[in-house]
Amino acid sequence: MNVLLVGVNAKYIHSNLAVRYLKAYTKDMDYNCDIMEFSVNDRVERIVEEIMERKPRLLGFSCYIWNIEYITRITTLIKSIDDSIQIFYGGPEVSYDSENFLKANCGEYVIEGEGEETYREFIYTKIKEYKNEEVDYSNIRGLYSKKSGQIYYGGNRSLMDMNKIVFPYEESEDLAHKIVYYEASRGCPFNCKYCLSSTFHGVRFIDIEKVKKDLKYFVDNKVRLVKFVDRTFNCNESFANKIWNYLIELDGETRFHFEISADLLSSKSIETLSKAKKGLFQFEVGVQTTNDKILKNINRNVNFSTIKEKVEELKCLKNIMQHLDLIAGLPGEDFNSFKKSFNDVYAIGPDELQLGFLKLLKGSSMREEAEKWDMHYSPYPPYEILKTKNISYNELIRLKHIEHMVDKYLNSGKFNNILKYFVESDLFDTPFDFYEQLSLFYKEKGYFKRNISSSEYYKVFFDFNNEILRRNSELLCDIIKFDYLTYNKKRGIPDFIYRESGKNIEKQIKENLIDNNLISSVNDVHIEKFNYDLNQYFVNKLITKKDFYVGFFNNSNNVLIDLGIYLKK
């Protein structure tokens, strides 16, 4: 019996954890199981073609809000081509309205909730059926089945023992260039109304020695990034500290991403994390809003002051990348409240700031309270908020435009000095005001409707300054040029980046650098002249006009010093 498990990921570099769990949990059983992975950027017709080439007897799909519409198109085409192929669905997008989903879509089965044990019993029954034995799917717990238009349900299945989970990745897999997903626990101690984790109470952990063994496998195989999908990784302080300590001691090249609750970080955890080498850990911290009243509305029992304190402590370590989240459209929060939340979080100085928009997921208590808060949301995945009694559709669109600016400019990390110039100047009252004005300029220029080149993203600031702010700023020109040359190729520099060095001066500096054994070839560095002492400005905010020569080295180890000292006298 040939079974094909299909994961449709948001991006090519992602990997699907769910389908791997199912295959691993049944690897001792007598059937052929293969996995295929695609992304939502692939053509549906190509996916159908590749699936049909495998000639599966049974076909399973892992379903989420970002791929469900895509998957139903695939399954409709497959059933039109060969109705004998049986189809089953699993995942959060089909687990909370399984009966109606199965009625409305082609396919025979839905596995709800945690799928491993239900899938194992389902495959066991399928094997028996394949051998022409009499079977009954209606008694399998956690399974919805459809027969002659009638839906049957086997009832709820108890949550599984986490130590029965089988390591989902195979030795033959090339994971070096993938984002690998892993979980050490399931469940969440909190009960936030917008989150599906609130539908289950309690947290279950995998044995820590097994977790360590799994993580060593990733490090030994030089996986680039492992993202823990645990909802609140540090809800058990002892467990989290032991894992962090272990990864620090392994000292590998693999980076690890965790979702944490910053307010739970103790001084002991901070001390542990202080020992990590730079870049080893990435933390995602859900702030959602800094308005304590709104936090109560969503049943989130934390206050922003505690989060801020812990995030700032982590920032002082200078070794952990922090990504902070806000959610627009929360019940009771208006535009001005969100603006304050934005400015509060921005002031902390996170490495990344994500502006998300409330999604009223199937099964969440937030969806059940939609009428109470006069929430209007899209009936189509991902069920995003359209408006509430506190924030209008137009205001949410304004926030979406601002989100685009923040994601492109702040989160890319390639415009840091330019952004500081605007945000820290007297041109705007708050960071939010700057990003909103920039988004309005974008809209006026039509940039939201077309793709612009990487160099144009820098040119935007020249045009924004000249056309909107109308300030003659030679210093800004220097800053834009510096950020551009720091993160972009030095050949083919666009015309809007003014050049002043002169070949003779550049040659002199390079020859002197070679004489001092600082470079081995004139091609090792690009020399550029600036009109201001950028070191004084970036470090001390002192504006000093002078000829300032900067070297941009091919090895990226740039040191901001005035190379004018290497001019031959």
> DSSP readout, 24-36?
HHTTTSSSEEEEE
Q: What is the mean pLDDT of residues 101-121?
A: 97
Q: Give the Cα-Cα-Cα angle 66, 342, 454 (nearest 5 degrees).
A: 60
206 and 76 belong to one structural domain: no
Residue 559 pLDDT: 64
Question: Which one of 346, 364, 391 terminates a domain?
Answer: 391
Same-domain pairing of 243 and 381: yes
Determine the pLDDT at residue 199.
Answer: 67
Q: Residue 467 falls within a domain, yes or no?
A: no
Q: Are 202 and 82 within one domain?
A: no
Calpha distance 226→214 (Å, rounded): 11
Sequence-distant (≥ 6) Cβ neighbours of residue 223 within 8 angstroms:
175, 176, 178, 180, 254
Query: Looking at the structure, do residues 257 and 144 belong to the same domain, yes or no?
Result: no
- Residue 452 covered by a domain: no
Give the domain-ending residue among 351, 371, 391: 391
Residue 431 lies in a domain: no
Q: Is residue 455 part of a domain?
A: no
Structurally, how many domains does the chain consist of? 3
Of the two residues 202 and 88, the one the predictor is more confident about is 88
Residue range 240-260: average pLDDT?
97
Global pTM?
0.92
Residue 517 in any domain: the answer is yes
pLDDT at 489: 75
Within-domain flag for 189: yes
| CATH number where 212 lies | 3.80.30.20
Three-state DSSP class for residue 448:
helix
Q: What is the pLDDT of residues 33-86, one digit of tens each?
A: 999 999 999 999 999 999 999 999 999 999 999 999 999 999 999 999 999 999
Q: Are residues 139 and 197 located together in one domain of the fold? A: no
- Asked whether the predicted pLDDT for residue 179 surpasses 70, the reply is yes
**84 and 196: one domain?**
no
Residue 471 resides in a domain: no
Ordered strands of the 109-111 beta sheet: 32-39, 2-9, 58-62, 86-90, 109-111, 143-147, 150-153
Q: Are residues 280 and 212 in the same domain?
A: yes
51 shares its domain with 188? no
> Is the four-CA dihedral 399, 402, 408, 414 of positive or negative sign?
negative
**% pLDDT > 90, the chain:** 79
Cβ–Cβ under 8 Å, residues 89 and 79: no
Are the CB atoms for 101 and 89 separated by under 8 Å?
yes
For tokens 């008694």, the residue is: 139
Query: Do 147 and 173 share a structural domain?
Result: no
* Residue 194 falls inside a structural domain: yes
Its domain, for residue 508, covers 499-566
Written as one string, the DSSP assignment of 359-417 is B--TT-HHHHTTTTTT-EE-SSTT-BEEE-SSS-HHHHHHHHHHHHHIIIIITTSS-HH
Do 219 and 298 share a domain, yes or no? yes
Domain endpoint, select from 357, 391, 425: 391
The predicted model gives 129-149 an average pLDDT of 95
Q: How confident is the model over 495-541, as pLDDT tens digits?
A: 888 876 667 788 888 888 888 887 888 888 888 889 999 999 999 99
Indicate if 174 and 149 belong to the same structural domain: no
In sequence order, what E strands does 261-387 have?
A: 281-288, 321-328, 352-357, 376-377, 385-387
515 and 562 part of one domain: yes
Question: Is 562's pLDDT higher than 80?
Answer: no
Average pLDDT taken over every residue of the chain: 93
Q: Quick one: pLDDT at residue 366?
A: 95
